[in-house]
């Protein structure tokens, strides 16, 4: 059987009306899904069309809804032929066919409002138009190609689908681009912040090193100047003072309020050090040059230098400029300059008399071997303005210190 649009109503494999008709996209031929499945078992993916022997992909099979509707109409007309069908509503013979409803109707239905302005033809004419006849066993029909209109609809559908997929792909890439741009801005901001931190730290380190270098250059110039003097002048120490040791001796009196309990027996001094045998001088300095001599020994442990007034007095302390101590420390036959919490710089020799020189205006604390006329170590960048610095002394064990201005 064949419809008026040239579309067959019967499968060319089973020679019966189509059941679940499917269309091969590559060639356009139609078959029952079950019939085509039986004929194409040789491969899971590819198969040959039973009609034209062309190769097609099984995943490209498409349900032919248009053909299924035609077959349904053909079945209705076929059932109405050869016998009188009575209208269930009016109990009149159904001799007409409504193309709009695609169903047989009676004469009363034709005059009803339901079918007004509908295209109604005699049932025999409809049968001829759809060309539905008896299918004899063994009869094989000549296939017709798929109509051009159906091909155009299929092409338009594929084009719309491709357009939608393209738009979705473009939208996804735009979202991805926005995400990558945001990540790039975020990471670049972090890198810029890190670069600024590195630059600030480098500037701080450079300033500190420049200050220390300037102090060392001053000491080197002083040493170089003294090295150019005749030996006789270097050995002459007028008034018991070395010519290259800063002048301005200070009378140092120990402050009993700061002394450890084992240094002073009185217990009413709230400013004293409680954990170590420390003691400060009575007078603090913020301006000018000051120096004093300390006679030291080789027994026990000791430390001499200067300390801030605000140093910790009631708990553990560490000798370092960070905690407010600029000291020379002796322990285990070694004399060291306490530079920071984890490092002490050994000085040469074992001095017997140490001159502590405080230059408040120049921000420097220097230690000299008074007997050998030699600089042991100098701290630079010492903050003197605002908070006074006091002479500092520490003894432990059999250590003995004697102070002179």
> pLDDT value at position 183?
93
Strand stretches in 322-388, DSSP E: 325-331, 334-340, 343-346, 353-359, 364-369, 374-380
Query: Angle of helix 65-80 relative to helix 123-130, nearest 10 degrees?
Result: 140
Both tokens assigned to 319? 């000798």
Contact 308, 286 (CB under 8 A): no
> pLDDT value at position 297?
83
Contact 7, 144 (CB under 8 A): yes
Q: Give the DSSP letter of residue 141.
A: P
Q: Give the DSSP letter of residue 155.
A: H
> pLDDT value at position 226?
67
Fold of 244-404: Jelly Rolls (2.60.120)
Q: Give pLDDT < 70 ranges for the chain.
A: 1-8, 42-44, 77-84, 91, 130-155, 226, 229-276, 341-343, 405
Q: Which of 64, 61, 66, 67 is nearest to 25 (CA)?
A: 61
Domain boundaries, the chain: 21-146, 244-404
> pLDDT value at position 335?
84
> pLDDT value at position 255?
57
Both tokens assigned to 245? 């040791």
Q: Give the DSSP letter of residue 317.
A: -
Task: Give residue-wise pLDDT tens across range 47-85.
Answer: 888 888 888 888 878 888 888 888 887 777 666 555 567
Contact 317, 311 (CB under 8 A): yes
Q: Give the DSSP letter of residue 323.
A: G
Q: What phi-psi label fits residue 222: left (phi over 0), alpha (psi between -120 and 50 degrees) or beta?
A: alpha
Between the alpha carbon of residue 68 and those of residues 20, 74, 198, 217, the distances in Å are 7, 10, 76, 104
CB-neighbour burial class of residue 269 (10 A; exposed 0-12, middle 13-18, buried 19+): middle
Contacts of 393 (CB under 8 A, 6+ apart): 254, 278, 279, 280, 294, 302, 303, 304, 401, 403
> pLDDT value at position 155?
67
Task: Give residue-wise pLDDT tens across range 114-150.
Answer: 888 888 888 878 877 765 443 333 333 334 444 444 4
∠ CA(89), CA(93), CA(94), 5° rounding? 80
Instruction: Give the pTM.
Output: 0.37
- How far apart CA 289 and CA 250 sit, in angstroms, is 9
**Helix, strand, coil: what percent of the chain each, to 5?**
35, 25, 40
Q: Is 92 helix (H, G, I), strand (E, B) or coil?
A: coil
Both tokens assigned to 388? 């006074």
Strand stretches in 65-160, DSSP E: 96-98, 103-105, 120-122
- How far apart CA 257 and CA 280 sit, in angstroms, is 9
> pLDDT value at position 275?
53
Place of tokens 């006849």: 133
Q: Give the DSSP letter of residue 396.
A: E
CATH number of 21-146: 3.30.160.60
Both tokens assigned to 98? 């409504």
């Amino acid at each position: 059987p064949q419809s008026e649009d040239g579309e067959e109503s019967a499968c060319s494999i089973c020679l019966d009306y189509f059941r679940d008709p499917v269309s091969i996209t590559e060639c356009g031929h139609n078959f029952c899904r079950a019939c085509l499945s039986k004929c194409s078992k040789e491969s899971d993916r590819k198969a040959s069309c039973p009609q034209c022997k062309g190769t097609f992909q099984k995943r490209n099979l498409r349900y032919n809804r248009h053909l299924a509707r035609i077959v349904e109409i053909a079945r209705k007309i076929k059932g109405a032929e050869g016998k009188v069908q009575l209208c269930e509503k009016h109990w009149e013979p159904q001799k007409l066919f409504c193309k709009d409803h695609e169903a047989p109707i009676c004469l009363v239905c034709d005059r009803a409002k339901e079918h007004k302005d509908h295209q109604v033809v005699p049932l025999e004419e409809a049968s001829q138009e759809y060309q539905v006849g008896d299918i004899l066993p063994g009869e094989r029909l000549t296939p017709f190609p798929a109509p051009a209109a159906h091909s155009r609809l299929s092409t338009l559908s594929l084009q719309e689908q491709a357009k939608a997929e393209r738009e979705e792909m473009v939208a996804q890439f735009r979202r991805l681009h926005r995400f990558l741009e945001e990540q790039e801005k975020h990471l670049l901001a972090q890198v810029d912040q890190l670069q600024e931190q590195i630059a600030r730290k480098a500037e701080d380190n450079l300033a500190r090193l420049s200050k220390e270098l300037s102090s060392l250059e001053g000491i080197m110039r002083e040493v170089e100047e003294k090295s150019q003097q005749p030996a006789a002048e270097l050995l002459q120490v007028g008034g018991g003072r070395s010519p290259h040791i800063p002048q301005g001796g200070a009378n140092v009196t120990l402050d009993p309020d700061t002394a450890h309990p084992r240094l002073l027996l009185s217990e009413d001094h709230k400013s004293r050090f409680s954990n170590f045998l420390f003691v400060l001088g009575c007078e603090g300095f913020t301006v000018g040059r000051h120096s004093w001599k300390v006679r030291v020994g080789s027994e026990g442990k000791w430390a001499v230098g200067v300390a801030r007034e605000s140093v910790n007095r009631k708990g553990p302390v560490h000798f370092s400029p960070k905690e407010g101590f600029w000291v020379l420390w002796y322990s285990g036959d070694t004399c060291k300059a306490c530079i920071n919490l984890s490092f002490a710089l050994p000085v040469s020799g074992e001095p017997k008399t140490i001159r502590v020189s405080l230059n408040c205006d120049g921000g420097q604390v220097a230690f000299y071997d008074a007997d050998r006329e030699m600089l042991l170590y100098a701290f630079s960048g010492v903050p003197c303005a605002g908070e006074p610095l006091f002479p500092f002394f520490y003894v432990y064990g059999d250590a003995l210190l004697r102070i002179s201005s």
